[in-house]
Amino acid sequence: MEAIRALVIDDLPFMRGAVREVLEEAGVCVAGEAHSGKEGLRLYGRLKPDIVLLDIVLPPAGMDAFTFLRELTRFDPCARVIVSAVLGDEELVVRAIQLGARDFIVKPFVPERVVAAVWKVFNQNGRD
């Protein structure tokens, strides 16, 4: 079985590194990392990852998370996105789910929850 290929989008390098470490320890291949929604959209088209882990709070200058989700679902309606948010950002998470995100994880990360969300979303119908 091929490894799940993930794209991690977060404006903070240390957060991208933390997510990468959790994913790689679980056998998930991090195909790419992006610091903005704009870069993430470009990489998604090139890398065609199985799953995207998206920070819900990205600087608007580089395309915020909600614009990213709208553009991504236009490009690939079957895209599998998991958003990450801090406790208290429930309204943002609900908005992201309405725009096509399939699950969410809360920061600070619990590694087991990140891995469980990836497997859950990966196994959902929507893309062959």
Q: Which CATH number fits domain 5-122: 3.20.20.370, 3.40.50.2300, 3.40.50.150, 3.30.160.100?
A: 3.40.50.2300
- Between 127 and 11, the higher pLDDT residue: 11
Q: Are 32 and 47 in contact (CB under 8 A)?
A: yes
Average per-residue pLDDT in the chain? Answer: 92
At residue 127, the pLDDT reads 45
Q: Which of 30-34, 44-48, 59-63 has the lowest mean pLDDT?
A: 59-63
The two structure tokens encoding residue 23: 């994913």
- Please tell me the predicted confidence (pLDDT) of residue 59: 86
Q: Is 63 left (phi over 0), alpha (psi -120 to 50) or beta?
A: left
Q: Which residue has the tokens 């992006």?
A: 34
Taking residues 25-49, what's their average pLDDT? 97
CB-CB contact of 99 with 69 (8 Å): yes
Structural contact between residues 65 and 104, judged by C-beta atoms closer than 8 angstroms: no
Burial of 44 (0-12, 13-18, 19+ CB in 10 A): buried
Is it the case that residue 29 has pLDDT exceeding 90? Answer: yes
pLDDT confidence of residue 125: 66
pLDDT digits 0-9 by tens, 54-106: 999 998 888 999 999 999 999 999 999 999 998 778 899 999 999 999 999 99
